Structure 1
Amino acid sequence: MPFYSKIMDEGAAASALASSAKAKTRKPKSTLISRIHAFFHAMNRKPLLKQTLITFSLFGVLYALFNAFFNPSLDADATAATTTVRSAILAAAGGGGRGGSPPVKVYLYDLPHRFTYGVIQQHSLARGARAPHTVSSLKYPGHQHMAEWYLFSDLTRPDSERSGSPVVRVMDPEEADLFFVPFFSSLSLIVNPIRPAGSGPGPEKPAYSDEENQEALVEWLEAQEYWKRSNGRDHVIVASDPNAMYRVLDRVRNCVLLVADFGRLRPDQGSLVKDVVVPYSHRIRSYDGDVSVENRKTLLFFMGNRYRKEGGKIRDILFQVLEKEEDVIIKHGAQSRESRRAASQGMHTSKFCLHPAGDTPSACRLFDAIVSLCIPVIVSDNIELPFEDTIDYKKIALFVDTDSSIKPGYLVSKLRAVTAKRILKYQKELKEVKRYFEYEEPDGTVNEIWRQVSKKLPLIKLMINREKRLLKREADCSCICTNQTTFRTL
């Protein structure tokens, strides 16, 4: 029996014994006196300063309630006072922020121009635009890997526009819990193949090399005091394109990497343990209507590149199996404004949207489907999904294994068996969670990514402290870093 299974079995047994004992002992009904007694009993366990703060805060709350009861005209003031005192109690007890914990402090590196706005400028030049005169006139181009831009721009906004964020930006690196590296790695990758070295009319349009930029970035980071202090473990880098940072991954693998999936990463480079899976930025119009079956006449819809590499080879087989099925629209389509318009129309009028693997297990059309309230049909055996501690994907999507999906008639029969009532239930669930996949929503994707990043902090501190006390260097990666994402079911 594996070690972790033994622990889980012993834990389950202990839990069962505890539950049995609890059932035999009737718990006395809680009273106000017993609650106050419990409060002061708990107070004895806290440090003296916290005891004092919480005690004064408690008397403040009682005073506010007393005024509210005997002076009805002061209700508004009493409510405000109670709210203020409650905040003081939370602060004294170490609470606050989303989920009752203080916001994680993030330091935004002021990178050299070439790694941020310089990449935007090179992208613009590679497509024939003139060099803009000011940084403010540079515009980040729309594409599916825009997480890097949204996170960067979020940290540069005033605090008044970032209410509810799980992280707060600090200007002093000594105060920081985490360090955000705003290199536009995915955009840099897009620029790279556009113009070969030596092309262009003159020195104002130099050849661009993504590989050189990656290496220059890491050299810059490795020279920073705060990188050296933690060997990069408390640094956050966005690499949402599966090929982003490919040349330097071994040098940044200690960082928290924000990735779309682990399709191109070795287990010692990326894992669910230390990294965060982020959604692609959806490229079609979000559906603003209500749930409905009648307005969705098409059973299954897919529009995308038919021919992909690696795991995406399944697409061509699915085309052959599905393209002649009734009520199914499956067609080839490249990235363009016209294709996105057609995809929006198709997804908004279909009950189900097919999501086969791309070159790696994930692809942007999954998130296009979610914001369209079109039930995703996921045919990608090794896919990892964003925010699974918050979202139960079985409530919003159908999962079909690859071997079954290519059997003639199997997929369509499975979908036609889903009742209208069940379809509406899926759509309602999709409507509830779609804000998690909309980067421009005030409390949408960006805040959820920061929440996921914040949850890595205890592990980061553990690894940094552990590394400091080791007497001799161990192997670069231990089981804590390995991407163990396959589970066995009996």
Structure 2
Amino acid sequence: MRRGSIWAPTLLLLLAYLVLHGASNVFYFESRAVVQSIGPAARHLKSSESLIALPVSESRPLRIFMYDLPSKFTYGVVERYLRSRGIARNDKRLRYPGTQHSAEWWLFYDLEQGEDRRLSDASVRVMNPQEADVFYVPFFSSLSLVVGNGKSEDDEDPYSDEDIQEELMAWLEEQESWKKNKGRDHVVICQDPNALKRLRDRLKNTVLLLSDFERFKPDQASLVKDVVLPYTHRIDSYFNENVTLDRDTLLFFMGNRYRKEGGKIRDQLFQVLDVEPDMVMKHGTQSREGRRLAKVGMQTSKFCLHPAGDTPSACRLFDAIVSVCVPVIVSDDIELPFEDELDYSEFAIFVPSINALEPGYLGSYLRSISPDLLKQKQQRLREVRKYFEYEEKGGAVEMIWLEVKKKLPFIRTMINRDKRLVERSSGNCSCICS
């Protein structure tokens, strides 16, 4: 991973800090959760139970205060998107367009519901900011990014994503909750890799919900403080339980062949794999017909190729997961959502780029995978599929809030450090700060 050498010592320092300074509030780290335990109770643990905690779902839910932003930052963005593309608004409630960056809609929509209709039991919305663990800023930043690309030249009131970002920041900086802790307990979503580009230096204290670190500076985003999101899959989920090993195609890929930056590997893979038997490599773009063809291809293939796009991640990985098509990931710098909970090697295959580009290598490797191992990976895909479904209770929305909850020890650490640190003459920051 591109940042691996930095974050290992960072996490060790954070753990040491919490252990040494947690006399009254002891935090136990376990592979599935970080849960707060009151000090005296911890002393009653048996020695064999030390450093073991109840799962997050069995502790109290994350308390979220969602800002009631002016509508121009939420539904107003949807309305401008529809106007810019000449799409008629034919119902009373504006509908968020289906895009791969729809997480911002589902988190907002979920928190708008009554508690009995929520998609997540891992969090509760509180109306009193004094009760909040975190403050959620529900700006539709990814949709706002693309609104301007579709505006007509004769629009009397042209839309500017940069201007609305500045307006959002001005609004936030007036809020007492923001001022209190310099935004450290705030959660901001920017799933598109170019979203909120103008504000990144001013939002670097916050917990960012994003899909990729590729276009962020190291002091703006990191695995330590931020949460990696899954893209919204664009094709329908495969619910047939009778997945057979005689799916016709060995490896399937359909997508844009020509991409920028790290995505240039796609064209090279086309050249190498297009001549392989029982492999399907199709150049295609996102459209209704394209999604239909991709659905058929993925649901009739054993393996689905996931090369890097313009950035290391793309929605195609999640299309493959919900299609029960074992992902073959050729993206050396990819970061994956919920990786503290999920072992992707159980249901995906990772191939270094240098090997994938060797003629004959990938086909030979995939054909060597035994039917039993393939069946195991397909079964595991069925089991993990729900965690990538935004519309499903206990799915992606719940997983995201669980991941945010695990950031609370770090948030508290940084807030407390801010209270005692003096102004430093240099711009350098200690490693746990980034």
Structure-1-length-normalised TM-score: 0.76
**3-state SS, counterpart of residue 304 of structure 2:** strand
SS in 2 for 1:377: strand
1:159 corresponds, among 115, 118, 121, to 115
Residue of 246, 267, 271 corresponding to 2:197: 246
Greater helix share, 1 or 2?
A: 1
> What residue is the counterpart of 1:177 in the other structure?
133
Residue identity matched to 2:144: S
Per-residue deviation, 1:351: 0.2
In structure 1, stretches of 5+ residues that fail to align are 12-42, 48-94, 483-490
With over 3 angstroms needed to count, the CA separation of the structure-2 counterparts of 1:4 and 1:272, relative to structure 1, is closer
Aligned residue number for residue 355 of structure 1: 306
SS of residue matched to 1:293: coil
1:140-186 Cα shifts (integer Å, max 9, x gaps): 00000000000000101101123752111000111111000000000
Question: 1:471: how far off?
Answer: 2.4
Contact 2:148–2:159, Cα closer than 8 Å, also in 1: yes
**Paired residue for 1:385?**
336
User: What's the offset of the Cα at 1:294?
Assistant: 3.9
Matched, 1:444 2:402: no
- Confirm or deny: 8 A CA contact 1:97 1:103 kept in the other structure: no
**Separation (CA, whole Å) in 2 of partners of 1:271 and 1:247:** 18
Return the alpha-carbon distance in structure 1 between the equivalents of residues 389 and 372 of structure 2.
27
1:292 to partner: Cα distance: 3.0
**1:411 maps onto 2:377 in alignment:** no
SS at match of 1:428: helix
Which position in structure 1 is the counterpart of 2:281? Answer: 330
Q: Percent identity?
A: 55
* 1:96–1:327 Cα change, 3 Å: closer
Confirm or deny: 8 A CA contact 1:293 1:420 kept in the other structure: no
Corresponding residue for 2:432?
480
Mapped to 2, the partners of 1:244 and 1:403 lie a distance apart of 31
What SS does the corresponding residue of 1:229 show, helix, strand or coil?
Answer: helix
What's 2:406 paired with?
455
Query: Which consecutive residues of structure 2, in runs of 5 or more, have no partner in the other structure?
Result: 1-5, 17-37, 43-52
- 1:113 aligned partner: 71
Distance in 1 (alpha carbons) for counterparts of 2:338 and 2:305: 21
Q: 1:44 to 1:354 in 2, by over 3 A?
A: closer
Structure-to-structure mapping, 1:24-423, within 5 angstroms: 45=40, 98-130=56-88, 136-162=92-118, 165-195=121-151, 199-200=154-155, 203=156, 206-423=157-374
Structure 2 Cα separation of the partners of residues 459 and 113 of structure 1: 32
Q: Is the 8 A contact 2:120 2:397 kept in 1?
A: no
CA shift, 1:374, in A, is 0.3
Q: How far, CA to CA, are the matches of 2:360 and 2:191 in structure 1?
A: 35
Aligned to 1:67: none
SS at match of 2:124: strand
Distance in 1, Cα, partners of 2:88 & 2:239: 37
User: 1:324 offset after TM fit, Å?
Assistant: 1.7
How many residue pairs align between the two structures? Answer: 394
What is the deviation of 1:219? 1.1
Higher relative contact order (CA 8 A, sep 6+): 2
Cα pair 1:271 1:481 within 8 Å, conserved: no
Q: Secondary structure at the match of 1:299?
A: strand
Q: Distance in 2 between matches of 1:446 and 1:114?
A: 24
Q: Distance in 1 between matches of 2:292 and 2:285?
A: 12
1:235-289 Cα deviation digits (max 9, x unpaired):
1111110000011111111110001110111110100000000000000010111
Distance in 1, matches of 2:108 and 2:180, equals 23
Instruction: Write the deviation string for residues 294-320 of structure 1: whole angstroms up to 9, x where unpaired.
Output: 441100000000000000000000000
Greater per-residue strand proportion? 2
Deviation at 1:378, TM superposition (A): 0.3
